[in-house]
Amino acid sequence: MVSRRVVTGALLAGSAGSIIAAPGTPPTTPLAALPGKKPLLKRTFRPPNYETPLADLRTPHTRNDAFFVRYHLANIPDIDARAWRLQIGGESIGRPAALSLEDLKRGFERVSVTAVCQCSGNRRGLVTPRVPGVQWGYGAMGNARWTGVRLRDVLREAGLRAGAVEVAFDGADAAVLPTTPDFAKSLPIERALDEHVLIAFEMNGEPLPRWNGAPARLVVPGWTATYWVKHLADIRVEPRPFDGFWMKSAYRVPAGLFPAAPFPGQATRQTVPITEIVVNSLVTSHVDGDRLARGAPAILHGWAWDGGSGIAAVEVSLDGGHSWRDAALGEDMGPYSWRGFQWPLDTRQAGPIEAAVRARARNGAVQPDTLVANPAGYHHNVIQELALEVL
């Protein structure tokens, strides 16, 4: 039997005991609508943190009006795109610039990438005992086609100098209190110059919604959404590591706990920044406890994704993890996108079905059957189990 509940490993900072992975039921929460959004699961109001319901995760591209909303600071800008300017500077930039939206659209090649945007703490609300942070269920994520210009093209046009170490990004969202750290992030220069890292101004063929970073945001495919800075206002390239709270103190995991892209300027012996998304899957057709009509067609389906190597296989077990078989895979929309899977369920006989799903990435990573313990509940990717019953 796959163990979805017991999690091994000790916590940091003197915490004791084990973490228990909940049986797969997200925390209950009311639906509420932000302007321009359909009703979403309201996790917090200020700052606004709203989760996509499971039903809205069934399409290949998550609709803009259903896409999750994640903020750390409470003052969310409503920016006039015509007046907006993106500042490019820093010691490692030779020609500082202030670029308008039209400058980006007319001066650089327009490119697109389909990529999963996923909060580092997605599924945190499924962990008991409770860990700090927004108590997300399954929907602090979505898959979209992002369109914009390559960050590297903009940096090179601004006179990128040799010796650059990190690129820092700041958005226009702001805190209520002056003592609250500004939400600014950085990337190692090697990642910043990757061809898939974008300054995006479109989402699924439409201008970015206000709640998802208008007029332009950073898109870092394969890395968790903490780096996808919204409402981009300032980009600085420096010959030294960025020293900001959201890099030095927040969004960090114990060193060596997860396979991850290196971030040498921000790593210590104890902790490293969270970076790449880990391999994961989600059943969107059914939920734990569903009852199926005897003799009626039923197909188990959903999505699988990872940090950019792509999905090699999705396996389904119908006997509690004792045996596994490969599900049929859907269209490959690119290494940073999720990929569909499906498996027909046999409903000819009444009785229980102990379904479980696990994904395998092309780099060999496989979903675990126990949660990797960490203080913030990051990277929840335990094999999903569903107790179904045919009646």
Per-residue pLDDT band at 29 (split at 50, 70, 90): confident
Helix H, strand E, coil C: the string for the chain is: CCCCCEECCCCCCCCCCCEEECCCCCCCCCEECCCCCCCEEEEECCCCEEECCHHHHCCCCCCHHHCCECCCCCECCCCCCCCCCEEEECCCECCCEEECHHHHHHHCCEEEEEEEEECCCCCHHHEECCCCCCCCCCCCEEEEEEEEEEHHHHHHHCCECCCCCEEEEEECCECCCCCCCCCEEEEEHHHHCCCCCEEEEEECCEECCHHHCCCCEEECCCECHHHCCCCEEEEEEECCCCCCHHHHCCCEEECCCCCCCCCHHHCCCCEEECCECCCEEEECCCCCCCEECCCCCCEEEEEEECCCCCEEEEEEECECCCCCEECEECCCCCCCCCEEEEEECCCCCCEEEEEEEEEEECCCCECCCCCCCCCCCCCCCCCEEEEEEEC
Q: Which of 21-30, 177-186, 299-308 has the lowest mean pLDDT?
A: 21-30
The pLDDT of residue 25 is 61
Cβ–Cβ < 8 Å for 166, 185: no
Cβ–Cβ < 8 Å for 199, 227: no
User: Average of pLDDT values for 161-189?
Assistant: 97
Q: Which residue in 278, 253, 241, 8 sits closest to 118, CA to CA?
A: 278
- Of the candidate CATH numbers 3.90.226.10, 3.90.420.10, 3.40.50.280, 3.30.160.150, the domain formed by 64-273 belongs to 3.90.420.10
User: Average of pLDDT values for 229-255?
Assistant: 97
* pLDDT tens figures, 7-24: 322 222 222 223 334 445
Does 33 score more than 70 pLDDT? yes
Q: Report how far residue 37's alpha carbon sits from residue 160's, in angstroms, rounded to the nearest whole number.
A: 39
Per-residue pLDDT band at 26 (split at 50, 70, 90): low
The pLDDT of residue 12 is 28
Q: Which of 27-31, 96-100, 147-151 has the lowest mean pLDDT?
A: 27-31
Query: How far does CA 82 lie from the centroid of its chain?
Result: 29
- Read off the pTM: 0.93
The pLDDT of residue 14 is 27
Dihedral over Cα of 267, 156, 114, 79: its sign: positive
The pLDDT of residue 28 is 73
* pLDDT tens figures, 77-117: 999 999 999 999 999 999 999 999 999 999 999 999 999 99
Does 291 score more than 60 pLDDT? yes
Q: Domain residue spans in the chain?
A: 64-273, 280-390
The pLDDT of residue 128 is 83
User: Average of pLDDT values for 293-298?
Assistant: 97
The amino acid at residue 373 is: A
Does 3 score more than 50 pLDDT? no
The pLDDT of residue 327 is 98
Q: Which residue in 135, 141, 137, 134 sits closest to 119, CA to CA?
A: 141
Query: Could you tell me whether strands 271-273 and 252-254 are parallel, antiparallel, or unpaired per DSSP bridges?
Result: antiparallel
Question: Left (φ > 0), alpha (ψ -120 to 50) or beta: where does 9 sit?
Answer: left
Mean pLDDT (the chain, rounded): 93
* Fold of domain 280-390: Immunoglobulin-like (2.60.40)
Do you know the residue count of the chain? Answer: 391
